[in-house]
A and B are shown apart, each in its own frame.
Chain A
Amino acid sequence: QQNVQQSPESLIVPEGARTSLNCTFSDSASQYFWWYRQHSGKAPKALMSIFSNGEKEEGRFTIHLNKASLHFSLHIRDSQPSDSALYLCAVTGGYKVVFGSGTRLLVSP
């Protein structure tokens, strides 16, 4: 059974800082790797994904995947108060999509 773990559980950073969120998974056959963002009281929404080793950048967000280490991460450049949310990593393989327990990020103005 796929085991997805996130760290840290929570994080407080000042506005403008670089933020790093981590996710590990247990099934080496996993295919797609996702980050979702959930603002308070809202539904999760897909942020970005990656399926091959390496990095992918979209605006202030960069996702990095190392399948051999069973690890991927999300980096936020120039963090903004509007980035404050629960960040969920997700791993897909076949039909199942399994989420981690989340990292709560607070960006202080």
Chain B
Amino acid sequence: EAAVTQSPRSKVAVTGGKVTLSCHQTNNHDYMYWYRQDTGHGLRLIHYSYVADSTEKGDIPDGYKASRPSQENFSLILELASLSQTAVYFCASTDRGSQNTLYFGAGTRLSVL
């Protein structure tokens, strides 16, 4: 099964600080995604990428930047972390031939204090 690794698994950040969440996949997938999940709720799309060196805005991009330096790596950057960005963040990947079956990482629990 596809392997997607997120780091760190949990993070405590201070308001106004910079946070970088990392995602690495080893399955040669073209598409990668960042979602956030608030407690007990669904997933909201932040940024996505379908090719290295290019990223696209999702439905809630404000306050977040993304970087895709290689096919395997996709980062989510919070330049000025805010309390409202406390959530669990999931990275996912898929390829063209799988009808968009998303394979998720284990998630990063971010607490902004």
Binding site for B on A (CB under 8 A): 1, 6, 32, 34, 36, 42-46, 49, 51, 86, 88, 90, 92, 95-102, 104
**Within the complex, which residue of B40, B56, B107 is in contact with A43, where a contact is CB–CB below 8 Å?**
B107
B74 at the binding interface (Cβ < 8 Å): no
Residues of B within 8 A of A98 (CB): 45, 59
Q: Is the CB of A32 within 8 A of B100?
A: yes
**Within the complex, which residue of B40, B100, B105 is in contact with A34, where a contact is CB–CB below 8 Å?**
B100
Closest residue of chain A to B4 (Cβ to Cβ) is: A43
B20 CB, nearest partner CB in chain A, Å: 20
Q: Is the CB of B56 within 8 A of A97?
A: no
Residues of B within 8 A of A96 (CB): 45, 48, 58
Docked Cα-Cα span, A80 to B59, in Å, equals: 35
Docked Cα-Cα span, A36 to B101, in Å, equals: 10
Q: How many A-B residue pairs have CB under 8 A?
A: 58
**Within the complex, which residue of B31, B42, B56, B101 is in contact with A101, where a contact is CB–CB below 8 Å?**
B42
B113 at the binding interface (Cβ < 8 Å): no
Docked Cα-Cα span, A9 to B100, in Å, equals: 25
B110 at the binding interface (Cβ < 8 Å): no
Q: Is the CB of A99 within 8 A of B42?
A: yes
Given contacts A43-B104, A45-B104, A104-B40, contact A97 B99 (CB under 8 A): no
Q: Is the CB of A46 within 8 A of B101?
A: yes
Docked Cα-Cα span, A21 to B35, in Å, equals: 23
Q: Is the CB of A43 within 8 A of B90?
A: yes
Given contacts A32-B100, A49-B99, contact A97 B41 (CB under 8 A): no
Q: Is the CB of A102 within 8 A of B42?
A: yes
14 A-B residue pairings within 8 Å (CB atoms): A34-B102, A36-B102, A42-B106, A43-B105, A44-B102, A46-B101, A46-B103, A88-B43, A95-B31, A97-B92, A97-B100, A97-B102, A99-B45, A100-B42
Q: Is the CB of B100 within 8 A of A44?
A: no
Closest residue of chain B to A6 (Cβ to Cβ) is: B42
